[in-house]
Structure 1
Amino acid sequence: MTTTIPAPVAGADILLRDLTDAQFRELYDCDRFTATVLSNRLSYSVQHVVTGLLHRAFSPIIALSYDFAACICAPPEQDYTMSAVTSGLSVFLGTMSDGVRVAVEEYGPERLVPGDLLICNDVYRMGNHPNDVCFIRPVFHDEKIAGFMVLRAHQLDIGGDVPGGFSGTKRNVYENGLVISPRLLYHAGEPVRETFSMIFDNVRMSELLLPDFKTIQGCCTLGEQLIHETIERYGIEAYLGSLRYACDASAESMRHAIASIPDGDYEGAGSVDADGVDADEEYVIKVALRKRGTKVEVDFSGSSRQARTSINAGALDAKSAIGVGLKMLLAPGSDFTSGTFRDIDLVIPPGTITSALPPDGAIFCYWEIEAVIFTVLLRALEPVLGANAIGGDFGSTNVHNANGVGPDGTPWFCSAMAGGENGPWGASQVGDGDSCSCNYLLNIMSPSTESLEVDFPLRIMRREYIPDTAGAGLNRGGAAIARDIQYTQAAQHQTMPLRFRRPSGIGVHGGHDGALGGVWIFGQDGAPTSGTGILVDSDDSVYTDSVAVAGTLNPQTQVPDVDGSYFYFGQTPIWTTKPGATWRYLTNGGGGWGDPLERDPERVKLDVRDGYVTIAGAERDFGVVITGDPHFDPEGLHVDVEATRQRRTTAKKPG
């Protein structure tokens, strides 16, 4: 049960800052200063825990990509609310508290003892996908649970029919991987042999998972110690009060942000290109926001049925997308806790692509669905956000999974690190969109080229921005990224680009959409791996001899074309390549903000100088006429002021 602030006075809610000292102490069993100190101390504690994991992890996806998050959840008496969480993977934020509640209640809180480590990965209980194993350490004080130290971390493999699991073609839960119901991994500080055996009998790369499990046990022990130190120094009442305070502060911030939006009904829709069966069905996500006073109802009714393969998300994942998305758009300055959701009601019918059910509604690519939900929020709220709207990002993370066997017989696989996982953001009133980041909801790190080339048989041959792909605007979106990855050994590949039918980088406030991208293979049957190995793009003819994997492309030239044909990523579930083959990922471009004809011509000139825009694109998209040679004399570029005035005047005329 969560304590709330006193009843309204004179028709208005009392702000936390307006509480008297006596009222504050009655609510939180400590003074304001102590509550603030403890809230920050707990946030420091969980960040300290994941810093240890980051530096001691063995699995590349943890050590290189930051695919984890940690939080402190309150005891059962406070309904397991999440009071402090790290700045790790944002898509975990809406699933942690609910997952802990389900796992602990199912196992039985009365069965837990000090030193236990409870684990669970069932996506229908916990959210996210099977590789995201949740580790839950109960923290006791005077023989009673005072809270939980929780760490959720992506495991390199969890079984199933694809090494690493990253595939959009798995058709049911049995192909998806091992399901771990709530059970102990450690009991009273000692490993539970039966649980370790069950996991390692069903997964690949146990030699990496075993040390990671031991590291996670150590990290959770550290978190427990830090919580004990807080309780010993400040007292159990103040500690428990600070848990309530952290959630109430977040709830207050979101409540007032929601109140700033005019009452009304707002709708938006977005789509995923296809599932892993065929290209005939485009999956639509519909969201209706009904805002009244300080509350908002978010309704997913009308969204497409659950997909036939593992591109689905669960209801808790949809909750994450809404909570994180609304907070980013409306209240970015406060901490994220369970209180963030207090004034948000969700309507999620079962069995949709946002709420898939077993056994056929396999859930793996949940983050792709969350990304679409965020795009839908951008569309739905653009009219009310006005100048505060932001352009869409590159959408799909275009995850790539590759595996093979080395010359010495050692198996390897590279999951979600060598595809098109990073790309541009959209523009806002503040400025141009960044051109190299994770998508809006992920908050994941991009592994360095050097670390990937050391760990896997591949070379990153190219990673650069592509001109004229950013959505034009007074502030332009980020430019699309082209990334060429050459594999020096034979390999099998799965790829999951899901947003190439329609622009994901939507323009706002008069800005233009970003360009569409695509995926190709060059030299699939093998190419020389000596020399430079670099693909030279003198013109678009380079694509003619490639294998088009995904995108809306011209069927003859195979270059991106909004009026072209859709090439379906699942046309070949497993792509096989010989040594020297190169994969190219070209992301979508970010959306623009504002009228591009209002962009300062000098800024356009700098864009041409820096390679974001061509001279032809400057005139076509921004109405700016530039003379000079950006390649051989970039500092000698010149804006033809009179020609620009005439070009813009003509462009602004009706019709």
Structure 2
Amino acid sequence: MTTPTITPTLLRDLSDAEFLARYDTDPFTASVLSNRLRAAAQHVATGLLHRAFSPIIALAMDYVCAIIGPPEQNYRMVAATNGLTVFLGTLQDGVRAAVEEFGVDRLAPGDLLICNDPSRVGNHANDVCFIRPVFHSGRVVSFMVLRAHVIDIGGITPGGFDTNKRNIYETGLLIGPRLLFHAEEPVRETFTLIFDNSRFGEIQLPDYKTIHSCCRFGESLIVESIDRYGLDAYLGTLEYLCDTTAERMRLAIASLPDGDYEGKASIDADAEDADEEYLVRVKVVKRGDRIEADFSGSSRQARTAINAGALDAKTAVGVGLKVLLDPLGHFTSGSFRNIDIVIPPGTIASALPPDGAIFFYWEVANTVMTALIDALRDALGERAIGGDCGSNNVHNAFGVTADGTPWAASAVAGAETGPVGADRHADGEGHVCPYLINIISPATEGIEAQFPVMVMRKEYAADTSGTGLHRGGAAIMKDILWTGPARHQVAPFRFRKPSGIGVHGGEDGVQGGVWIFGQDGADLGFVPDSDDAYRDATPVAGVMDPETNRLDPAGIYAYYASERTWATKPGATFRYLTNGGGGWGDPLVRDPEAVKTDVRDGYVSIEAAAERYGVVIVGDPDRDPESLHVDIEKTTTLRLRNADEE
């Protein structure tokens, strides 16, 4: 006898009586409270952005604000801001771990609990989790949480962005759950512990105070909502928020054909040597309305700090599937309800202490996203999306000014942003960020005002997009000139293979690279994009012709850690060229007028228009771009010939 399939009742089909019985409130009140909570989280995040001193918070928005449910609801994350997505999957588990270890019964009104240990709360040591219990009628009813990157947490390198770290003792100060504020008063011994072990305390101290006040403000907004609508309605709404996102993801998963789908992606190397490439393998098993993501077969944990923890892999799967299957709507702990994750301990995505040093965890998350795109591109069909630039290419530089003042520029002077892939609706955007770490590109004026740099170039590079009916986003070429002596740690991890994979007949985006021009000092000025300039450059990362130092897929891999620390003298320029985004669909059916526009705008050269799209463009895009036109007859002939050759 076959067991009948039971289809859950959709939330919108519940009667008012059924809704009240489930959530202790009515649908209208639940919707109002849901929006109030999301607005409260965003209000808190805006307050931090406008008052932060640290550049990585104020310029790059490296933080997220979230509202977490009470212990009896298993600390579910119910609302989060549009901050860093790689924080989202760690919040429920991380807050639960920190609070349970500290003891929920020990918390009091006005407390601010902190923890930054990756093994407890995920992410890396600089991403400190600030947790404020929200009390109402003498009980904890929620937690207001800010997760923010602090500019320095100790360790062997100012700022921390160093691929060479080999164990947890080198990554920085690890703080188990302890109070930073108690009953609104600073806990002096915690502040002493932090500032005795980290640099740039004059920047961090006001940021910690700001975070405390922001969390206190967030608590007031939650309490105000409870006082207005009642505690039962509030707690019911927390359940409703997770149920709505769980339902969306369940329906999205159900729309995918049943099957076993395998994908992989790689990180070029760790900082030990260039010989070992690290693979992330994921097998997606889909049955009915459930998905299992199995990481068995992924590479061992790296020997240096390019690892991620299991909570980071969880985030990558949850957010990655959200991007692929249900890009609209909100993200909560409920988004994981129909997802199972299998991950052996001790892999590149589930590193264990003490030797599995975790720092560049987001790069593993980006790699998981590429593996998911690879695994599901055929199953999704026309719903597939092209791969992105793959890496944030974070650049860490530090030094001492002429007057002896130390400085560190972290994650603001590399190629932290870049293109994404195309989809069935449109071309890929060029200057955004990888799908899984939506950091923003810092303002040029902001970084030039704070550090010895000049941003000389930030532009799209021609002929780097993956071709298709819709093309991928174009790669970004970015030149940063250092006006003073500096030392640099770089993290370009995805240049051995294309990350911008093409889908649904589209082609891969071009692989990028990193170079230093004038490493031993140079006259201040622009570096041309010419053969002579590259011939004299120092290759840092990418697959290049060893004679010309130009990118060449048949060339030799330039190893980013061949110098533990790259030293430069005044006038040296770092050039980053990101990977291009993947294309979607057959490039031979792209609208010729769209190709002409791409030529006019500098995304595609006239030669590539003919070679890759079969479109013959006539005119001079540099001297008279508005006179460009399509030769219809030659285009038709060329496309027919190209179609026959395929």
TMscore range, shorter length: over 0.9
RMSD over aligned Cα atoms: 1.1
SS in 2 for 1:325: helix
Report matched runs for 1:147-166 at 5 Å.
147-166=142-161
Which residue in 2 is equivalent to 1:4? Answer: none
Task: Say yes or no: does 1:558 pair with 2:558.
Answer: no
- Compute the displacement of 1:551 (Å): 0.4
Task: Say yes or no: does 1:22 pair with 2:27.
Answer: no
Q: Do 2:619 and 2:629's aligned partners in 1 also have CA atoms closer than 8 Å?
A: yes
Deviation digits for residues 264-318 of structure 1 (CA, Å, limit 9, x no counterpart): 1111011000001000000000000111111111100000000000000000000
Which residue in 2 is equivalent to 1:301? Answer: 296
Task: Say yes or no: does 1:382 pair with 2:377.
Answer: yes
User: How many angstroms apart in 1 are the aligned matches of 2:413 and 2:466?
Assistant: 25
Residue type at the aligned position of 2:136: H
Which residue in 2 is equivalent to 1:416? Answer: 411
SS in 2 for 1:454: helix
User: How many angstroms apart in 2 are the aligned matches of 1:230 and 1:607?
Assistant: 51
User: How many angstroms apart in 2 are the aligned matches of 1:30 and 1:333?
Assistant: 26
Which residue in 1 is equivalent to 2:643? Answer: 652
What TM-score, normalized by structure 2, do the two folds share? 0.99
- Compute the displacement of 1:540 (Å): 2.3
More displaced 10-residue stretch of structure 1: 211-220 or 418-427 = 418-427
Identical-residue share of aligned pairs (%): 63
Residue type at the aligned position of 1:344: I
In structure 1, stretches of 5+ residues that fail to align are: 1-7
Q: Do 2:417 and 2:440's aligned partners in 1 also have CA atoms closer than 8 Å?
A: no
In structure 2, stretches of 5+ residues that fail to align are: none
- Compute the displacement of 1:239 (Å): 0.7
- Compute the displacement of 1:127 (Å): 0.6
Superposed structure 1 runs of 4+ greater than 2 Å apart: 8-11
- Compute the displacement of 1:10 (Å): 8.1
Task: Say yes or no: does 1:534 pair with 2:534.
Answer: no
Residue type at the aligned position of 1:355: S
Which residue in 2 is equivalent to 1:64? Answer: 59
- The correspondence for 1:591, drawn from 582, 601, 615, is 582
- Compute the displacement of 1:471 (Å): 0.8
The change in CA–CA distance for 1:150 and 1:462 in structure 2 (over 3 A counts) is: same
SS in 2 for 1:61: helix
Report matched runs for 1:165-564 at 5 Å.
165-529=160-524, 533-537=525-529, 539-564=530-555
Residue type at the aligned position of 2:419: P
- Compute the displacement of 1:11 (Å): 2.6
User: How many angstroms apart in 1 are the aligned matches of 2:413 and 2:328?
Assistant: 33
- Compute the displacement of 1:431 (Å): 1.2
- Compute the displacement of 1:9 (Å): 11
Deviation digits for residues 74-102 of structure 1 (CA, Å, limit 9, x no counterpart): 11111100111111111100001110000
Which residue in 2 is equivalent to 1:604? Answer: 595
Deviation digits for residues 317-339 of structure 1 (CA, Å, limit 9, x no counterpart): 00001111111111122211100
Which residue in 1 is equivalent to 2:614? Answer: 623
Which residue in 1 is equivalent to 2:90? Answer: 95
Deviation digits for residues 451-481 of structure 1 (CA, Å, limit 9, x no counterpart): 1111111000011111111111111111111
User: How many angstroms apart in 1 are the aligned matches of 2:144 and 2:629?
Assistant: 60
Q: Do 2:417 and 2:439's aligned partners in 1 also have CA atoms closer than 8 Å?
A: no
Residue type at the aligned position of 1:221: R
User: How many angstroms apart in 1 are the aligned matches of 2:629 and 2:241?
Assistant: 55
User: How many angstroms apart in 2 are the aligned matches of 1:9 and 1:286?
Assistant: 35
Which residue in 2 is equivalent to 1:142? Answer: 137
- Compute the displacement of 1:603 (Å): 1.2
Deviation digits for residues 518-558 of structure 1 (CA, Å, limit 9, x no counterpart): 100011111123xxx01122x32310000000100111111
The number of aligned residues is 644
Deviation digits for residues 455-508 of structure 1 (CA, Å, limit 9, x no counterpart): 111000011111111111111111111100001100000000000000001111
Residue type at the aligned position of 1:403: F
Deviation digits for residues 578-613 of structure 1 (CA, Å, limit 9, x no counterpart): 111100001111111111111111111111111111
Q: Do 2:298 and 2:347's aligned partners in 1 also have CA atoms closer than 8 Å?
A: yes
Deviation digits for residues 48-97 of structure 1 (CA, Å, limit 9, x no counterpart): 00100000001010001111001111111111001111111111000011
SS in 2 for 1:412: strand
- Compute the displacement of 1:638 (Å): 2.4
SS in 2 for 1:569: coil
